[in-house]
A and B are shown apart, each in its own frame.
Chain A
Amino acid sequence: METNLVYDNKSKKITLSDSSNPQYKLEIDQLNQLTTEIIAQGSDVPPLPSAENFNKDLSKMIKKLYEGGVQAFKMNKFEESCKQFSIGIEMINRRSKFESFQLTIQELSLFLMSRTDAYLKNKQYLKAFNDVDLLLNMQMNSPDNFLRRGVANFFLGNYEAARSDYQRGLSFDENNQRLQHELNICLDKILEENGDRL
């Protein structure tokens, strides 16, 4: 597999000369973004990511958005809540890539969890599934996340998938009442769908 890469000396960016290899586009975009940020940031070597150089202004705004989202959620304005969380996630995405990733991911996972709940409440199950699936793929293996994905799967009609989500959640916390309860509902549903009984 061969591709021609073109390096632009002014913008320091790399471009694909032909569009025949779309699989490289993502990687090249990522590389270009890192280049842009390292230039914008001023010094030759970016400072070590730490809690100190974490962008506090952004943190404040993000926190505000988060509180707004929670507020809306509590007032049962789920659509509004989803919107707030989405803006928050967008903002987290804008953070410089050289900031502490550990802190960023913490913020992001909090937002994703909250947005999943808002989506679930708003009956946007597919979107909820995507969010919580991303969380689980990032190894946020808390029983609550399994509960969230299980519920999303349940309402999407994937009862078997919901069942295995609940069961995997239970392997992290065996006595989780909530998971057990949902699992029972799900098992009943599977039996019912199969026209079977105990």
Chain B
Amino acid sequence: MASEYNYDESGETWPFFILAILSLFLIPLTIKYISRILSNENPTLYNESIKGSINLKIDLANKDAIEKFQNKQKSSKIFNKTLILLIIGWSILIYIGKYVTKEADLTGLFDPYTILDISFTASEKEIKSKYRKLSLKYHPDKLPRDLTEEARQQMEQEYIRVTSAYKALTDEAIRENFLKYGHPDGEQSTVHGIALPKFLVDGKYNYLVVLLYFVVIGLLLPYLVGKWWSNVKSHTRNGLHVNSASNFVRAVIDRDPAKIITPKTILDWILESEEINQQFKHLSKEERLNLVDLHFNRKFDKEREDDKIELISKLPFLINGLIDIAVAFKLQDVVLPAEDVKKCVISATPINGKYHEILQLPFVDPKVVESQDVKKLGKLFAITEEQAKAALGIKNEKEFKIAMQVASKIPSLRILEAEFKVPGEEDGIVPPNSTAHISLKFLVKSPRLKSCPDIDDEKLKDEENLEYMKNPLYINEKQPSLPYSYAPYFPHPFKLNWSCYLINQKENKIVEDSTKILLENIDLSNLEISQEEWIDEKNENLVISTFKIPFTQPTGQIGKYHYRLIMKNNAYFGSDLDIPIDLKVTAIPLKNLDNLKKKLEDIGKEKESDDEEDSDSDISDPEEDSLAGALAALKGQAVKKKSKKVEEIDEDEEEEEPFSDINTDTEDEGDN
């Protein structure tokens, strides 16, 4: 019997089909929606669980405007199109699941074991006895007389089933049929249902299906694909509008090389980006600049406050977009001022001047601060409280306390060790062409703490387990994540992090192929310990942090390379780090290779003894940059210098300078 296609006449399967399709969309969407709401955690609560975080609330004049902005953001997270879609989707799903689906009819299936009610392992004897019992019950001759015609028919049917089940298990031919086709009578007709109810296909509703096909294929599909494509075309992968991105690229490439890129330049570029142009059509460039200036000076303007907050909240994202582009062009002289502008936006401090560290604190009086000498946070804790109060220009005792509390919790990084490492190599040796990473060991330090404890070298060693050998960067994730940063002037909360850039000292450019690397996990608990605990080297509570930075290139040939690591905090001034790191690539002290060489030498000696005459004479010393040369150099043997050209060029330059003895006695002339 051939198989045939049927419409789903009784409406059995199409609800399941719709259920499957619906859940395919609904479940991922729901998970995404819920996780997005859950990610909306409360920064205050989150920070409470983290040691060294700043959890102070202050009341600002624009408190209401900021709250309004935050609530708007929150509600747009919960009440959006996704929610409507979810509600409709789930209600259809529940309706179909509950009312439309019918239990599948399994009577068509033939299973002799169920019919006879025996287990699969039953022996022939058991089958026989069971069959006998059942046939006694259903046999037409044994039925009671007072049964209705209908019941009698049913019983007879049942008898036939029982008999064929019995035969399927005992009779050879029938058994064969059962095994092959799943039925004792041989092949059955297969019915393939199409998951559309019959009333929709035949009959008066059939135009609905045609209409549906037309809407889905003719309208919806082109619309969705078109929308997706235009989105892909209009935004970069990081969500930056393509027009902004191309403007940034143009600005970065076309910049006048004789001009230094200042924070002001960066701000100009950002305020002309497409996102700002679209959202703030009603503001001219000057008005935008004025708003940003208001923010930098921590001033408020009731009428324009909403605009100001919207504008400010957009800036860091755009600056990050610019930074990504500048990093691709390896231009550190764009990246660094851009990072500074970002911080100014977040901490609401003016983009120029040297008092950022002090001005980032709450309640300070900029006029007073800029007229005195204290520029660094650390200095605030080195002078008396009265002096500090005068330096900050805060009169209110409570406000002063809060400002100092914030100051004491701004972390700085005190480097203990910074070097290139190759997992598995002893004593920090970096062999040529290996995959190295930069290993930073540092202490998180509060400006309140002075001096630095001596840390035993043993404590700086990484545990060389299997995971470390496979991927040394796993250590980064093992440390606790950073808290939300303290930025009361910035409209929405964000977590603290450091962006790291590796710069090649020779070229003064960001290293090829490297990207911005984020440091997001550090234990800040050192911020809460006392001075005594800090300098006590036996203190167990002192946390030594580790950060591993991937080095994108294989290490080059033997030699010394100079790099500079810059780590920029995303919120605080005074937390940045800028250190030189040298990469010294040395030959591997291979013991095996050494042995090999000895063997070779032994063989050589044997030969020499064979014909003594042509000894050393025509075997010259190995050249410096050959493998043999490297081995010889390791053993302290003579190596030929290949060339002296490079050095000569340097000497030429020196001669031309008449004032190599410029007097720069920095100590004598003191503080100018």
A residues neighboring B (CB under 8 Å): 26, 70, 73, 110, 113-114, 117, 120-121, 123, 125, 133-134, 137, 141-142, 144, 147-148, 151, 154-155, 157-158, 160, 163-164, 167-168, 170-172, 174, 182, 185-186, 193-198
The listed residue with most B CB atoms (<10 A of its CB), out of A114, A120, A167, A195, is A195
A167 to B447, CA, bound (A): 24
A157 to B666, CA, bound (A): 12
Q: Are A26 and B256 CB-contacts (below 8 A) given A114-B658, A151-B664, A195-B382?
A: yes
Question: What mask results when residues 562 to 588 of chain B are scored 1 for a CB within 8 Å of chain A, else 0?
Answer: 101000000000000010101000000
* Contacting pair A195 B381 (CB below 8 A): yes
Can you add 9 more A-B contacts, CB < 8 Å, to A117-B662, A125-B672, A144-B657? A113-B659, A144-B660, A151-B662, A171-B505, A171-B562, A194-B377, A194-B378, A194-B447, A195-B383
Residue of A nearest to B659 (CB): A117
**Cβ-based interface call for B271 (8 A):** no
Q: Are A194 and B664 CB-contacts (below 8 A) given A155-B672, A168-B505?
A: no
* Contacting pair A148 B580 (CB below 8 A): no
A153 to B75, CA, bound (A): 50
Given A170, A194, A196, A197, which contacts B580 in the complex, CB threshold below 8 Å?
A: A170
User: Which residues from chain A contact B256 at a C-beta distance below 8 Å?
Assistant: 26
A172 to B507, CA, bound (A): 11
How far does the Cβ of B418 sit from chain A's closest Cβ, in whole Å?
13
**Cβ-based interface call for B354 (8 A):** yes
Q: Which B344-388 residues sit within 8 Å CB-CB of chain A?
A: 354, 375-383
Q: Are A196 and B450 CB-contacts (below 8 A) given A120-B662, A120-B664, A151-B664?
A: yes
A134 to B260, CA, bound (A): 10
How far does the Cβ of B344 sit from chain A's closest Cβ, in whole Å?
17
A40 to B380, CA, bound (A): 65
* Contacting pair B450 A197 (CB below 8 A): yes
User: Which residues from chain B contact A194 at a C-beta distance below 8 Å?
Assistant: 376-379, 447
Q: What are 5 A-B pairs with beta-carbon distances under 8 A?
A: A110-B656, A151-B662, A151-B666, A171-B580, A197-B451
* Contacting pair A123 B564 (CB below 8 A): no
How far does the Cβ of B97 sit from chain A's closest Cβ, in whole Å?
61
* Contacting pair A196 B505 (CB below 8 A): no
A174 to B653, CA, bound (A): 17
How far does the Cβ of B368 sit from chain A's closest Cβ, in whole Å?
19
* Contacting pair A114 B659 (CB below 8 A): yes
Question: What mask results when residues 634 to 664 of chain B are scored 1 for a CB within 8 Å of chain A, else 0?
Answer: 0000000000000000000100111110111
How far does the Cβ of A123 sit from chain B's closest Cβ, in whole Å?
7
A147 to B659, CA, bound (A): 12
User: Which residues from chain B contact A26 at a C-beta distance below 8 Å?
Assistant: 256
User: Which residues from chain B contact A174 at a C-beta distance below 8 Å?
Assistant: 560
Given A73, A123, A154, A196, which contacts B451 in the complex, CB threshold below 8 Å?
A: A196
Residue of B nearest to A164 (CB): B578
How far does the Cβ of A165 sit from chain B's closest Cβ, in whole Å?
11
User: Which residues from chain B contact A170 at a C-beta distance below 8 Å?
Assistant: 580
User: Which residues from chain A contact B383 at a C-beta distance below 8 Å?
Assistant: 195
Given B450, B658, B662, B667, which contacts A195 in the complex, CB threshold below 8 Å?
A: B450
User: Which residues from chain B contact A182 at a C-beta distance below 8 Å?
Assistant: 664, 666
* Contacting pair B564 A164 (CB below 8 A): yes
* Contacting pair B564 A195 (CB below 8 A): no
**Cβ-based interface call for B56 (8 A):** no
A110 to B660, CA, bound (A): 12
Residue of A nearest to B506 (CB): A171
**Cβ-based interface call for B452 (8 A):** yes
* Contacting pair B666 A154 (CB below 8 A): yes
Task: State the main secondary structure of chain A at its contact with B.
Answer: helix
A197 to B450, CA, bound (A): 6
User: Which residues from chain B contact A151 at a C-beta distance below 8 Å?
Assistant: 662, 664, 666
* Contacting pair A195 B505 (CB below 8 A): no
How far does the Cβ of A155 sit from chain B's closest Cβ, in whole Å?
5
The listed residue with most A CB atoms (<10 A of its CB), out of B375, B376, B381, is B376
**Cβ-based interface call for B234 (8 A):** no
6 interchain residue pairs of minimum CB distance? A195-B382, A171-B562, A194-B378, A195-B379, A171-B505, A151-B664
**Cβ-based interface call for B257 (8 A):** yes
User: Which residues from chain A contact B663 at a C-beta distance below 8 Å?
Assistant: 121
**Cβ-based interface call for B508 (8 A):** yes
Residue of B nearest to A125 (CB): B672
How far does the Cβ of B594 sit from chain A's closest Cβ, in whole Å?
30
A99 to B438, CA, bound (A): 48
* Contacting pair B667 A185 (CB below 8 A): yes
How far does the Cβ of B527 sit from chain A's closest Cβ, in whole Å?
16
User: Which residues from chain B contact A185 at a C-beta distance below 8 Å?
Assistant: 666-667
How far does the Cβ of B327 sit from chain A's closest Cβ, in whole Å?
19
User: Which residues from chain A contact B578 at a C-beta distance below 8 Å?
Assistant: 160, 163-164
A117 to B378, CA, bound (A): 34
* Contacting pair B659 A73 (CB below 8 A): yes
User: Which residues from chain B contact A148 at a C-beta distance below 8 Å?
Assistant: 662
A147 to B665, CA, bound (A): 12
Q: Are A193 and B564 CB-contacts (below 8 A) given A73-B659, A168-B505, A171-B580?
A: no
A123 to B260, CA, bound (A): 22
User: Which residues from chain B contact A141 at a C-beta distance below 8 Å?
Assistant: 506
* Contacting pair B660 A195 (CB below 8 A): no
Residue of A nearest to B662 (CB): A117
User: Which residues from chain B contact A110 at a C-beta distance below 8 Å?
Assistant: 656
Q: Are A193 and B659 CB-contacts (below 8 A) given A123-B672, A154-B666, A171-B506?
A: no
User: Which residues from chain A contact B662 at a C-beta distance below 8 Å?
Assistant: 117, 120-121, 147-148, 151
How far does the Cβ of B357 sit from chain A's closest Cβ, in whole Å?
9
* Contacting pair A113 B657 (CB below 8 A): yes
A186 to B387, CA, bound (A): 25
* Contacting pair A198 B452 (CB below 8 A): yes
* Contacting pair B564 A198 (CB below 8 A): no
A168 to B447, CA, bound (A): 27
Residue of B nearest to A133 (CB): B260
How far does the Cβ of B103 sit from chain A's closest Cβ, in whole Å?
72
User: Which residues from chain B contact A121 at a C-beta distance below 8 Å?
Assistant: 662-663
Q: Which B463-512 residues sit within 8 Å CB-CB of chain A?
A: 505-506, 508
Q: Are A157 and B580 CB-contacts (below 8 A) given A144-B660, A195-B378, A196-B451?
A: no
How far does the Cβ of B217 sit from chain A's closest Cβ, in whole Å?
44
User: Which residues from chain B contact A133 at a C-beta distance below 8 Å?
Assistant: 260
Q: Are A193 and B375 CB-contacts (below 8 A) given A73-B659, A164-B578, A171-B506?
A: yes
User: Which residues from chain A contact B672 at a C-beta distance below 8 Å?
Assistant: 123, 125, 155
Residue of A nearest to B562 (CB): A171
Residue of B nearest to A109 (CB): B656
* Contacting pair B257 A137 (CB below 8 A): yes
A154 to B666, CA, bound (A): 8
A30 to B157, CA, bound (A): 106
A137 to B666, CA, bound (A): 25
User: Which residues from chain A contact B452 at a C-beta distance below 8 Å?
Assistant: 198
A39 to B625, CA, bound (A): 54
A125 to B447, CA, bound (A): 31
User: Which residues from chain B contact A186 at a C-beta distance below 8 Å?
Assistant: 666
Residue of A nearest to B375 (CB): A193
User: Which residues from chain B contact A123 at a C-beta distance below 8 Å?
Assistant: 672
A144 to B662, CA, bound (A): 10
A66 to B657, CA, bound (A): 12
How far does the Cβ of B259 sit from chain A's closest Cβ, in whole Å?
10
A157 to B375, CA, bound (A): 11
The listed residue with most A CB atoms (<10 A of its CB), out of B505, B653, B660, B666, is B666
A58 to B447, CA, bound (A): 58
How far does the Cβ of A69 sit from chain B's closest Cβ, in whole Å?
9
Residue of B nearest to A140 (CB): B653
A26 to B663, CA, bound (A): 38
A112 to B373, CA, bound (A): 33
User: Which residues from chain A contact B378 at a C-beta distance below 8 Å?
Assistant: 194-196
* Contacting pair A195 B380 (CB below 8 A): yes
